[in-house]
Structure 1
Amino acid sequence: MPIDAAKAVAAEARSTEIHWGHRDVQLYHLGLGAGVPATDPDELRYTFESKLHVLPSFATVAGAGHGVVGGLFGPGLDIDLAAVLHGGQTIELHRPIPVSGTAVSTSRVAAVYDKGKAAILVLRTEAADDEGPLWTSDAQIFVRGEGGFGGERGPSSRLELPSREPDKTIEKGVREDQALLYRLSGDYNPLHADPEFAARAGFDRPILHGLCSYGMTLKAVVDTVLGGDVGRVRSYTTRFAGVVFPGETLRIRMWQLGSKVQVSVTAVERDDAPVLADTIVEHS
């Protein structure tokens, strides 16, 4: 059995020092489609070093995504990347992420759930610098064909969308080359670049990274509902409900619910096929 759940959860946490600077932040933002229009003052906050702020979802790629990518190859795990999909993602922010920094990133397998025909790994990463905790990140990794080992099924909750019309709806196009640019922030899974590998995984062409859709959506919420203030984000969680292909358009619907924004993301060209579901941004 490629996954030994008990061994994976019992494995010692792995810690490593990570570093990032303004170029890493700028590259990440550009991979999300920031910078259009290039001279827009609101976009320059994502692209120009003298005005830069950091979108909280940068936590998923800081240190080249060490926590998620490295977590797939720990003790008790022997995983074919063609069988892997990102099932969900949660980030809790303890304070705003600095434009440049050094931190210790500590990662472990927090849980392994048995979904029958698949397994879900919960990879938890905590980052802290000299001033204290920065963020806690939980990645839910769906591994096809690795279930059936008799483990717990784990939590299963779905959020109903509000019955009223959304408070805000925007559409964001995904460039044809966006996955190629986004992967330079650290996720080099060939599923997002190589047509032959994508075909082996069951797709007729490479798909966009789920975390790219995740970051694009948070940027839309920050810019549309939170007045462009990244420091207001407290946590952000989603379930990846479907794939996105480069060249498609995301329809992002937002409902303001007190200190939370509930979000639904769909693919316009495929009759609003689900992309992100059970999505909540908590804010101050």
Structure 2
Amino acid sequence: MTINPDHLLNFPIPDVRQRLTRRDTILYALSVGLGQDPLDARQLDFVDQHRTLRVLPSMPVVLGHPGFWLLDPRTGVDAVRVVHGEQSVEILRPLPVEGEVIGRTRITGLVDKGAGRGALLYSEKQVIDAASGDVLALTRSTTFLRGDGGFGGPSGPVRPAHPMPEGAPEFVVDLPTRPEQALLYRLNGDDNPLHADPTFAEQAGFPRPILHGLCTLGVVAHALLRVLGDYDTTAFRSLDLRFSAPVLPGETIRTEIWRDGSFRARVLERDEIVVNNGHAVFERAPDGGPKR
């Protein structure tokens, strides 16, 4: 099946209305690794319902999530070979720990890289407070359609990547993942079989199910919140990153962070960069350093 660019650009993605509970908020934090250090009381604010519960700022990626809609054959996309390329999160208003939200996803662009080179699909999701109609957050994604390309679509524009600074990072944070973490993360509504089904993963060219890119993002966001925000969620404004390689559940993610908010991440077991060209914006302390 060949992509029809006009059809795909206008493909209807239904709004998703989600009743958000405190349990959902806790599940998300647990699914990206919060609470693994039993002696770090700061993490308990995200996973202990008996405390003043807080929302991890990366949670908008799963709120009102439309599911793996590219699996619909009407898109014309080779869904087996789809991978997550880039992701950003921008917080516009404080996130609720419970309530009702609406996820409104639309396709914003399509780039045909040519026959045998795949295509890029750009999309944006608004996370809307159902009661007030206020937009709480924006998430933007780039999906790499590895099995497509050469369908006569536009050749640009391609979003530029954030340039990485020269020199060594000022901060390094190592956070482990767990072997079953992708199965836990799927409970947030991101049910791509690539992260659970060994046969599907093999067909996609991977030795075994891989961790969701958005789960990797959650782990990295935790590291950024620790270093640049001192676990103050009100300091977080936005993050943007590019996925460069998959993480296998059970590997340790090392996030390397510069004082200007630039970051990248690698897995220690393979010394391979899995996130690159990252940039985060936090409210700054008066000296311009990480907020304390």
Cα-to-partner distance string for 1:198-217 (whole Å, 9 max, x where unaligned): 11111111111110110110
- 1:143-222 matches, within 5 Å, as 143-153=145-155, 154-222=157-225
Whole-angstrom CA distance in 1 between matches of 2:164 and 2:119: 27
Note closer, same or farther for the CA distance 1:99–1:168 as it changes in structure 2 (3 Å cut): same
Quick one: distance in 1 between partners of 2:90 and 2:258? 20
> Conserved in 2, the CA contact under 8 Å of 1:122 and 1:138?
yes
Instruction: Work out whether residues 14 and 108 of structure 1, in 8 Å CA contact, stay in contact via their aligned partners in 2.
Output: no
Aligned partner of 1:89 in structure 2 is 87
Q: Using the alignment, how far apart are the partners of 2:40 and 2:104 within structure 1?
A: 37
Matched, 1:55 2:53: no
**Equivalence for 1:279:** 278
Give the alignment partner of residue 111 of structure 1, picking from 109, 112, 117: 109
Question: Are 2:237 and 1:234 aligned?
Answer: yes
In structure 2, what is the Cα distance between the partners aligned to 1:12 and 1:179? 28
CA distance in 2, matches of 1:28, 1:133: 20
Distance 1:156 1:40, change over 3 A: closer
Structure having the larger proportion of residues in strand = 1
Amino acid of the structure 1 residue aligned with 2:162? L
Paired residue for 1:19?
Answer: 19
> Any conservation in 1 of the 2:182–2:196 contact (CA below 8 Å)?
yes
Check whether the contact 1:8–1:75 (CA below 8 A) recurs between aligned residues: no
**Which residue is 2:123 aligned to?**
123
Greater share of helix residues, 1 or 2? 1
* Equivalent in the alignment of 2:44: 44
Q: Could you report, residue by residue, the CA deviation over 1:29-55 in whole angstroms, capped at 9, with x for unpaired residues?
A: 111111122353111011012321111
CA-CA distance at 1:234 after TM superposition? 1.2
Q: Kindly state the Cα deviation for residue 283 of structure 1 after the two structures are TM-superposed.
A: 1.8
1:99 to 97, 100, 118: 97
Give the aligned length. 277
TM, length-normalised to structure 2? 0.89
- Which blocks of at least 5 consecutive residues in structure 1 are unaligned? none
Gaps of 5+ in 2: 284-292
| Deviations, residues 131-183 of structure 1 (Å, cap 9, x unaligned) | 31101111111111211123223325233422222111011111111111111
8 Å contact 1:191–1:206 — kept in the other structure? yes
Name which of 125, 136, 139 aligns with 1:137. Answer: 139
Q: 1:247 to 1:11 in 2, by over 3 A?
A: closer
Work out whether residues 168 and 254 of structure 1, in 8 Å CA contact, stay in contact via their aligned partners in 2.
Answer: yes
Q: Give the 3-state SS of the residue equivalent to 1:269 in structure 2.
A: coil
| 1:105-137 Cα shifts (integer Å, max 9, x gaps) | 221111111122211111211122233110111
Shift of 1:244: 0.6
Preserved contact between residue 109 and residue 122 of structure 1 (Cα < 8 Å): yes
Instruction: Please give the alpha-carbon distance, in whole angstroms, between the structure 1 residues aligned to 2:255 and 2:40.
Output: 21
Distance 1:186 1:12 in 2: 19
- Percent identity over the alignment is 35
Alignment partner of 2:185: what SS? Answer: helix
Q: 1:60 to 1:80 in 2, by over 3 A?
A: same
How far is 1:247 from its partner?
1.6
Q: Which residue of structure 1 aligns with residue 287 of structure 2?
A: none
CA distance in 2, matches of 1:161, 1:138: 20
> Within 2, Cα distance between the matches of 1:29 and 1:189?
20
Q: What secondary structure sits across from 2:224 in the alignment?
A: helix
Structure 1 counterpart SS, 2:87:
strand
Q: Quick one: distance in 1 between partners of 2:107 and 2:196?
A: 27
Distance 2:269 2:185 in 1: 22
Q: Given residue 274 of structure 1, which amino acid in structure 2 is its aligned partner?
A: I
Other structure's SS at 1:214 match: helix
The residue type paired with residue 196 of structure 1 is T
Q: State the distance in 1 between where 2:119 and 2:3 align.
A: 9
Give the aligned residue type for 1:247: G
Tell me, in whole angstroms, the C-alpha distance in 2 between the residues paired with 1:54 and 1:2. Answer: 41
| Contact 2:228-2:282 within 8 A present in 1 as well | no
Which runs of 4 or more aligned residues in structure 1 lie more than 6 Å from their structure 2 counterparts after TM superposition?
A: none
Is the CA contact 2:57–2:233 (under 8 Å) kept in the aligned structure 1?
A: yes
